[in-house]
């Protein structure tokens, strides 16, 4: 369907190189609320990729997505937020990467300084991938429309894995990207369940040990929708690719219903394999067009032509992983061999997104049997000793073309425990600190949850309910939500990146735990120095089967390039050849992490702040609770802590009274400011917030 949609999009002469050939402006709206007049422009970019261009050859299945003239075509929506008067523009462009196709905070730029914001689509699977919204003026969809891979005019097929977790009852359930809520985007090629397998998993440990509970007979399940009023075998799902995305998600119905507390794993032959890597190339081309082009092939002017002096690409979580993959694939070099972005800022993102292999799942979160850790995760060329892969780094290709950007990367603790980040720091050997180059700054914010908490100085929150674990049907954790924020660091880095790009002003130095510094250690309670007896944290938490998701050395089959994470996986699910050792930050006597960026709430703590939580119930009970952090408050008084056996000093023992706590916050804010990790305005507001709090009142 996408091929049909895009094949007629352009009626212009075919240029020699891959690039954006046409833009369409759908709407202009005034942005109010600031002194400098801004406007937002929404539109679409149309472009084409030439499989013969070496810069596009890395795109998996690109030759299987071309039109009759041998070019692959795409369409992506974009949004520009710019000063109405371009003479007032600063010359700095932020290109934001949407997360899972959704809208992002458009125009989150320094408007008072005249910066420009750009958002454009890149993810080419899932709901909306084949159709750009009809309401182009106001729609918030930021997918990329690309063709599906075909051979001999027929859609290619291959093995796809889907999972259903923690469900019970007779109603059918959707196949989702493991614990994430996004649907598996690939339809079955056939409704014949004899050509598929439905396996019941009784247990699955964090370190990859799987206990199989049996296989459901093919006659006892169906690709169908059912419920109590429409019992098994239910109504067969529609597997016509022409009806995508309305016929997603894929539903499975089981005779007798699903058993509570089990994991159901489906392996089936899928179809509609999007040429996903074309979406990455489209993002590259859009960034290049708005930075360098004067007009498209039809003469439509670039709305910010000649206004960009420097640019940076920015993305959070999945979007940050996309940036790392973009750079690794050499896509910071455009069709004219120019650097697309001067700066790059992948936030809370420690891997490369799975978006350039056949039947890849960009929405994955690195759970069991999900891609994302394949190949080099570090910046410099480094030997992948444990997996025996070629010596490479994320900068390998851009170093050869002199197109590497200046990089900020910042992470928190949840990225260590659930998103396998420290392999980037110490390699698959986990025995030496991998150096970073002079154009990379790494900032680790210890004791934080994924994306940071809500901040504030609240000792005991109003709710006593455990934090919600991200993902579909994962449940809650046993520990409270972690409030430690990333906001103040982001405020610093947003200004520091533009100054680094436009003025070559050096940003704050890297700050993260290291092996040589003794702040990065084995993931055991003893090596970490984690105190025993902290309320709500049993010793079993630290067992390898529950604690710290490792990197797995998967064998995806001979058709898959395990270094680049490209090609065609033929072994699904993959075998686990090896479990890669992980490292985690050392902690202080309270259990708060050492070696990272100074943050006020951890320097003047109200409790122990964790990058992990503990699953409360269901299939993953007792294990690290996905990528969500936890919080264990200190006792208020010595008598209270002695009653529970808490080894950590109470608030009164630490600070005496409210004034003592405010003084501790003031000193912490001073230190963070002097080290360059806190703006003056944030320093003052944090001290005021501590004064206004009820801590020890």
Q: What is the pLDDT of residues 619-670, one digit of tens each?
A: 888 998 878 999 999 999 999 999 999 999 999 999 999 999 999 999 999 9
Q: Which residues of 486-500 are buried (b: 16+ CB within 10 A; e: fewer)?
A: bebbbebbbebbbeb
The Cα–Cα gap between 365 and 349 comes to 11
Mean pLDDT of 445-472: 87
The sign of the torsion formed by the CA atoms of 444, 450, 454, 459 equals: negative
For position 90, what pLDDT does the model report? 94
Question: What is the band of 100 on the pLDDT scale with cuts at 50, 70, 90?
Answer: confident
Q: Is 113 exposed, middle or buried (0-12, 13-18, 19+ CB in 10 A)?
A: middle
Question: What is the band of 499 on the pLDDT scale with cuts at 50, 70, 90?
Answer: very high
Mean pLDDT of 256-280: 95
User: Is 78 within 8 Å of 42 (Cβ atoms)?
Assistant: yes
* DSSP H or E stretch at residue 204: strand 197-204
For position 328, what pLDDT does the model report? 97
3-state SS, residue 610:
strand
Question: What is the band of 182 on the pLDDT scale with cuts at 50, 70, 90?
Answer: confident
Cα→Cα distances 500→191, 333, 487, 508, 615, Å: 55, 20, 20, 10, 42
Q: Which residues of 666-680 are buried (b: 16+ CB within 10 A; e: fewer)?
A: bebbeebbeebbbbe
For position 139, what pLDDT does the model report? 59
Mean pLDDT of 484-494: 95
For position 16, what pLDDT does the model report? 40
For position 472, what pLDDT does the model report? 52
Q: Is the pLDDT reported for residue 3 higher than 50?
A: no
Mean pLDDT of 108-118: 82
Question: What is the band of 474 on the pLDDT scale with cuts at 50, 70, 90?
Answer: low
Q: Dmax over Cα atoms in the chain, in whole Å?
A: 81
For position 463, what pLDDT does the model report? 83
The Cα–Cα gap between 175 and 162 comes to 5
Nearest to 401 by CA among 324, 315, 340: 340
For position 125, what pLDDT does the model report? 87
| Direct distance between the N- and C-terminal alpha carbons of the chain, in angstroms, rounded to an integer | 64
Mean pLDDT of 305-334: 96
Residue 630, C-beta contacts closer than 8 angstroms, at least 6 positions apart: 449, 466, 467, 477, 478, 479, 480, 481, 482, 609, 610, 612, 613, 614
Q: Is the pLDDT reported for residue 10 higher than 90?
A: no
- Establish whether the linkage from the previous residue to 414 is cis, with ω within 30° of 0: no
How crowded is residue 27: how many other Cβ atoms within 10 Å of its Cβ? 14
Question: What is the band of 12 on the pLDDT scale with cuts at 50, 70, 90?
Answer: very low
Q: Is the pLDDT reported for residue 582 higher than 60?
A: yes
Residue with tokens 């093995």: 159
Mean pLDDT of 462-483: 80
Q: Is the pLDDT reported for residue 163 higher than 70?
A: yes
For position 13, what pLDDT does the model report? 36
Mean pLDDT of 203-229: 96
| Residue that wins the pLDDT comparison between 215 and 472 | 215
Q: How much of the chain is in helix, strand and coil states, percent to nearest 5?
A: 20, 25, 55
| DSSP-assigned letter for residue 257 | -
For position 9, what pLDDT does the model report? 35
For position 107, what pLDDT does the model report? 46
The Cα–Cα gap between 240 and 225 comes to 16
Query: What's the whole-number average pLDDT of the chain?
Result: 91
Residue with tokens 């993305």: 315
Q: Kindly report which listed range (26-35, 535-544, 596-605, 631-640) carries the lowest average pLDDT score.
A: 26-35
For position 360, what pLDDT does the model report? 95
Percent of the chain with pLDDT over 70: 93
Tokens representing 32? 């109010």
Residue 330, C-beta contacts closer than 8 angstroms, at least 6 positions apart: 55, 58, 397, 398, 401, 403
Strands (E), 531-679: 551-555, 560-561, 566-567, 575-580, 584-585, 607-610, 630-633
- Rg over alpha carbons for the chain, rounded to the nearest Å, is 26
For residue 194, which phi and psi values (nearest 5 degrees)? -70, -15
The Cα–Cα gap between 53 and 72 comes to 12
Pairing state between β 224-225 and 116-120 = unpaired
For position 15, what pLDDT does the model report? 40
How crowded is residue 269: how many other Cβ atoms within 10 Å of its Cβ? 15
The sign of the torsion formed by the CA atoms of 307, 290, 399, 348 equals: positive
Cα→Cα distances 658→260, 654, 695, Å: 48, 11, 6
The Cα–Cα gap between 481 and 290 comes to 41
The Cα–Cα gap between 171 and 232 comes to 9
For position 7, what pLDDT does the model report? 36
Q: Is 463 exposed, middle or buried (0-12, 13-18, 19+ CB in 10 A)?
A: exposed
The Cα–Cα gap between 101 and 105 comes to 13
| DSSP-assigned letter for residue 132 | -
């Amino acid at each position: 369907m996408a091929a049909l949609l895009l094949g007629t999009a352009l009626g212009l002469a075919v240029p020699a190189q891959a690039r954006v050939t046409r833009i369409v402006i759908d709407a202009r709206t005034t942005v109010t609320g600031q002194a400098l007049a801004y406007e937002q422009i929404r539109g679409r970019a149309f472009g084409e990729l030439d499989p013969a261009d070496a810069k596009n050859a890395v795109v998996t299945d690109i030759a299987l997505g071309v039109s009759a003239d041998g070019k692959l075509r795409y369409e992506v929506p974009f949004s520009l937020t710019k000063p109405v008067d371009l003479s007032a523009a600063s010359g700095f462009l932020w290109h934001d990467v949407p997360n899972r196709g959704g809208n992002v905070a458009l125009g989150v730029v320094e408007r008072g300084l005249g910066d420009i914001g750009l958002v454009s689509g890149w993810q080419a699977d899932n709901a909306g991938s084949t159709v750009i919204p009809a309401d182009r003026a106001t729609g918030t969809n930021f997918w990329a429309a690309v063709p599906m891979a075909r051979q001999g005019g027929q859609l290619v097929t291959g093995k796809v894995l889907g999972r259903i977790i923690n469900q019970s009852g007779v109603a059918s359930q959707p196949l989702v990207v493991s614990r994430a809520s996004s649907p598996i985007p690939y339809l079955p090629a056939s409704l014949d369940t004899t050509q598929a397998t439905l396996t019941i998993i009784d247990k699955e440990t964090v370190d990859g040990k799987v206990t199989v509970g049996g296989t459901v007979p093919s006659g006892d399940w169906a690709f169908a929708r059912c419920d109590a009023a429409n019992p098994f075998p239910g109504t067969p799902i529609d597997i016509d690719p022409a009806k995508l995305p309305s016929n997603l998600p894929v539903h499975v119905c089981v005779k007798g219903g699903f058993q509570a507390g089990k994991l159901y794993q489906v392996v089936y032959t899928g179809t509609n394999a999007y040429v996903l890597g074309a979406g990455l190339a489209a993002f590259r081309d859009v960034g290049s067009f708005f930075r360098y082009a004067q007009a498209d092939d039809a003469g439509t002017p670039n709305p910010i032509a000649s206004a960009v002096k420097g640019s940076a690409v920015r993305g959070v979580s999945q979007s940050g992983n996309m940036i790392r993959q973009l750079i690794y694939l050499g896509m910071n070099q455009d069709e004219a061999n120019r650097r697309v972005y001067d700066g790059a800022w992948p936030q809370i993102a420690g891997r490369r997104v799975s978006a350039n292999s056949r039947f890849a799942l960009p929405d994955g979160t690195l759970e069991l049997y999900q891609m994302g850790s394949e190949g080099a995760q570090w910046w410099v060329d480094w030997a992948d000793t444990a997996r025996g892969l070629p010596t490479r780094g994320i900068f390998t290709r851009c170093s050869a073309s002199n197109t590497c950007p200046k990089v900020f990367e910042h992470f928190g603790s949840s990225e260590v425990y659930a998103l396998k980040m420290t392999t980037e720091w110490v390699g698959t050997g986990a025995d030496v600190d991998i150096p970073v180059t002079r154009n990379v700054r790494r900032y680790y914010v210890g004791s934080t949850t994924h994306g940071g908490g809500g901040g504030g100085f609240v000792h005991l929150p109003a709710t006593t309910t455990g934090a919600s674990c991200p993902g579909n049907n994962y449940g809650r954790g046993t520990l409270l939500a972690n409030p430690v924020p990333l906001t103040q660091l982001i405020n610093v880095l947003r200004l520091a990146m533009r100054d680094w790009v436009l003025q070559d002003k050096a940003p704050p130095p890297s700050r993260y735990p290291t092996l040589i510094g003794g702040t990065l250690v084995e993931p055991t309670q003893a090596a970490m120095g984690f105190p025993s007896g902290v309320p709500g944290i049993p010793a079993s938490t630290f067992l390898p089967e529950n604690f710290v998701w490792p990197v797995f050395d998967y064998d995806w089959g001979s058709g898959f390039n395990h270094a680049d994470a490209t090609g065609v996986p033929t072994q699904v699910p993959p075998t686990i050849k090896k479990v890669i050792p992980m490292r985690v930050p050392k902690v202080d006597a309270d259990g708060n992490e050492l070696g990272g960026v100074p943050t006020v709430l951890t320097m003047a703590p109200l409790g122990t702040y964790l990058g992990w939580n503990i699953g409360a119930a269901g299939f993953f009970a007792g294990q690290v609770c996905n990528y969500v952090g936890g919080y264990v408050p200190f006792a208020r008084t010595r008598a209270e802590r002695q009653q529970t056996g808490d080894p950590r000093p109470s608030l009164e023992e630490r600070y005496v009274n409210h004034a003592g706590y405010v003084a501790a916050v003031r000193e912490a804010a001073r230190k963070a400011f002097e080290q360059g990790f806190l703006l003056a305005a944030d320093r003052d507001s944090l001290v005021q917030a501590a004064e206004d709090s009820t801590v020890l009142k």
